[in-house]
Structure 1
Amino acid sequence: MSHHGLESAVGIEKPRPKVIVGGVGTGGHYFPAVVVANELQERKFDVVFLARKGFVEETVARQYGVKTFSINPRPFYGKSLIVKFLFVFSLIFSIGRLHALTKHAIGLAFGGFGAVPLVISCMINRSIFYIFEPNRVPGKATQRFAARAKRVFLGLPLLKNINAVTAITGVPIRHEFLESLNQTRSKAPHGAVSILFYGGSQGAQRLNDLALELQKIMPKKWFLTIIAGDRDYARIIRAKGERIRVIPFTEKPWQEIRQADLIISRAGALAGYEILALNKKVIWIPFPYAIDDHQFHNALYFAKLGDALVQKEIDVTADSLARCIGELLRKKRKQGTRIIRDAEKRIVDYLLQDRA
């Protein structure tokens, strides 16, 4: 009897294939990617996480105990010939580095420019690959390669259907968010209202400016926290009053979100899921220059799920924001938001189902 036949006869499970997880990009790419990588490891898959050497995604993957492999794709921003040349050169070089790695492996790409070399390498090797698309309007990489993917996992329902096999899984969020639901909040002074300005991992200059304008007109019981981003931190520190606390960046946003009574936020898919997971009242101010205005469409969807209002950046002023905050604070809190809280398990279930 062959070795393979012997395995089948005694019921020994075939070794699970290697999964190459593409987590290059910003927090919206690498945080969901690392959550899924951990779930794959729990289920005995061999996982390799693609990251740029010395970038945040490499540090995060290692903090969460995931093995990394370095590639250095360049974003395709700008129209100059040198940018196009660097993009193409880095793409070819990254595909070359991945060639041996993606043979007989499964690719799992988490969007953005970092997904492209992984997907193309899988196509060259005729390896199965999956794409995770977090937003309601799919990004360029998803649009281009969705039809060739085994399945496209959707963080949010798409605004329009695409030519692909899709499954709505929700957005994977770090376990610390759900664990923090069981922790008690620090005691605030009687009647104090804590408002968090949350611009995502990079901070958001317009949200920072709104916080500075709001401090001049807000009631005495309101206290603001701004996650300002490294680039804007020094400016905000100089301009803030005594009822504003400023931090440049946090690796533990669940702590700040849990402490807040209300949050002013951009509407990236990951930030939205993180806030809704903690059942917070929120005013979404979508980033108006996001590709295909995807943050606005995300915000409209999120607003249906929780205690939320949507304000367009072009329309919002400190006065209108103060009115919206007052209105939301007076509203009775909903019982809980209808988001999917086990996205990483659903994604890995599909990988196993597709192998069966």
Structure 2
Amino acid sequence: MKKKIVLAGGGTGGHVFPVLSVAQALIDQNQDLELSYIGQIGGSEKKYVSEARLKSGRTQIKIPFYGITADKLRRYFSWRIFALPFAILTGTSQAYRHLKVIKPDIVFCKGGYVTVPVAFAARLLGIPVILHETDASMGLANRLVSPLATRVAFSFPSPEFLRRDRRGSKFTYTGQPISQKFFKAGYGRKHSHPNLLIFGGSQGAKKINDLIREILPDLLERYHVTHVTGARDYGRMKAASNHRCYEPVGFSTDIDALFRQADLIISRAGGSIFEIAATGKPVVLIPIPNAANNHQAINAEIFAERGAAIVLDETKTSSQDLLKVIVELMRNSKKRAELAGNIKRLAEPRAAENVARLILKELK
């Protein structure tokens, strides 16, 4: 009889894409599996899962998607805080019904608020839960799920939360699961000018977009600028310049190709930093200052300590400050090569395989 695994994670592509990488690794290691995905009703994860190109040999694998109600776990005051217990209760009830139908042998949670009701429902049904944490500082959703998990895997070699937790035996370093396409050699499409990539994550970063907009004419005098703006800010940024060296895109499913063609990347410091690490590209990190548990700043600090990134504080960085850093790095190929070499060492090519092996081990 086939073993059944439920995958859960959502909110942004940063939660979903690693799950899909684990799904492919599971298929590669054991083809006698049935995979299902539980995500938020109306969330972006349904689109990502339906478009995933997973394969078993030459056969394309489609993962069925089950939706539940989920709401963000807010750390600031909002009237929606009062509705949160009801959202979690509703989501848990829906997840419970889905799990009763699917009858999985194990549940894998990657993070994001949608995983909380899934983990609660799994615990009620006595289904083991494997959890994976991307960041060096564990997010609120994963902190709620962690006590319910049989095993907890993590991406950073020595994360902050592991040093505080005395139940270290259930914690395992695996690295951050990412698609193998990021590890493939190649240089991508070349331009007549050095290529600067602005990448604010799967949803874009308005503050970074604002900084770039102010210095765009100066940048375009020197570089080809590829700009992943996020869908919501695409129209505004596209209208900022019709220069032939400016290439704004709302979102790209071929972000690995954009990374490979870049001479320098400007990025947030979420899970995408491991994708940048896999391609071995020099990066300037601008962490979100109000990110949950300050996790992006902690991620960036670890990369900076390893000599793997330049880090700028968004609250203290003007557009001219950013321009100065970009110009200095573009002029200094030795420094860029040093950053590229150091960041490459932080990538774990076998991470998805490691997580898949951990899940399969718990199935036995």
Q: Highest relative contact order (Cα 8 Å, sep 6+), 1 or 2?
A: 2
Where does residue 94 of structure 1 map in the other structure? 94
Equivalent AA in structure 2 for residue 51 of structure 1: G
CA deviation string 1:28-56 (max 9, x = no partner): 11100111112112212221111345543
Where does residue 268 of structure 1 map in the other structure? 270
Distance 2:27 2:275 in 1: 23
Judge conservation of contact 1:102–1:121 (CA < 8 Å) in 2: no
Distance 1:90 1:132 in 2: 24
Where does residue 352 of structure 2 map in the other structure? 344
Identity %: 27
Question: Cα offset for 1:69?
Answer: 3.1
Equivalent runs, 1:37-186 vs 2, <5 Å? 37-42=23-28, 43-44=30-31, 45-53=33-41, 55-64=43-52, 65-76=61-72, 77=74, 78-80=78-80, 83-84=83-84, 86-101=86-101, 103=103, 105-156=105-156, 157-161=158-162, 162-164=165-167, 165-179=170-184, 181=185, 183-186=186-189
Where does residue 56 of structure 2 map in the other structure? none
Judge conservation of contact 1:53–1:72 (CA < 8 Å) in 2: yes
Question: Cα offset for 1:85?
Answer: 5.7
Q: Does 1:33 align with 2:19?
A: yes
Where does residue 6 of structure 1 map in the other structure? none
Question: Cα offset for 1:232?
Answer: 1.0
Where does residue 293 of structure 1 map in the other structure? 294
Alignment: residue pair count: 337
Q: Per the alignment, in what secondary structure is the counterpart of residue 202 of structure 1?
A: coil
Q: Per the alignment, in what secondary structure is the counterpart of residue 97 of structure 1?
A: helix
CA deviation string 1:63-89 (max 9, x = no partner): 333422312222134344663365145
* Worse-matched range after superposition: 85-94 or 229-238: 85-94
Judge conservation of contact 1:24–1:30 (CA < 8 Å) in 2: yes
Distance 2:180 2:306 in 1: 21
Distance 2:80 2:37 in 1: 31
Equivalent AA in structure 2 for residue 353 of structure 1: K
1:53 to 1:229, Cα distance in 2 relative to 1, 3 A: same
* Worse-matched range after superposition: 215-224 or 290-299: 215-224
* Worse-matched range after superposition: 89-98 or 230-239: 89-98
Question: Cα offset for 1:217?
Answer: 3.5
CA deviation string 1:286-312 (max 9, x = no partner): 011110110011111223456420001
Q: Per the alignment, in what secondary structure is the counterpart of residue 321 of structure 2?
A: helix
Gaps of 5+ in 1: 1-14
Q: Does 1:20 align with 2:6?
A: yes
Judge conservation of contact 1:102–1:122 (CA < 8 Å) in 2: no
If the length of structure 1 is used for normalisation, what is the TM-score? Answer: 0.87
Judge conservation of contact 1:98–1:121 (CA < 8 Å) in 2: no
Where does residue 5 of structure 1 map in the other structure? none
What is the RMSD of the two structures over their aligned residues, measured on CA atoms? 2.2
Distance 2:119 2:101 in 1: 12
Distance 2:250 2:104 in 1: 43
Question: Cα offset for 1:139?
Answer: 1.1
1:163 to 1:95, Cα distance in 2 relative to 1, 3 A: farther
Gaps of 5+ in 2: 53-60
Question: Cα offset for 1:324?
Answer: 1.5
Judge conservation of contact 1:38–1:66 (CA < 8 Å) in 2: no
Distance 1:16 1:306 in 2: 46
If the length of structure 2 is used for normalisation, what is the TM-score? Answer: 0.85
Q: Per the alignment, in what secondary structure is the counterpart of residue 314 of structure 1?
A: helix
Judge conservation of contact 1:40–1:47 (CA < 8 Å) in 2: no
Question: Cα offset for 1:347?
Answer: 0.8
Equivalent runs, 1:191-210 vs 2, <5 Å? 192-210=193-211
Distance 1:174 1:32 in 2: 7
Question: Cα offset for 1:198?
Answer: 0.2
Judge conservation of contact 2:226–2:246 (CA < 8 Å) in 1: yes
Question: Cα offset for 1:145?
Answer: 2.8
1:144 to 1:187, Cα distance in 2 relative to 1, 3 A: closer
Equivalent AA in structure 2 for residue 244 of structure 1: Y
Distance 2:102 2:154 in 1: 23
1:146 to 1:81, Cα distance in 2 relative to 1, 3 A: closer
Distance 1:247 1:355 in 2: 42
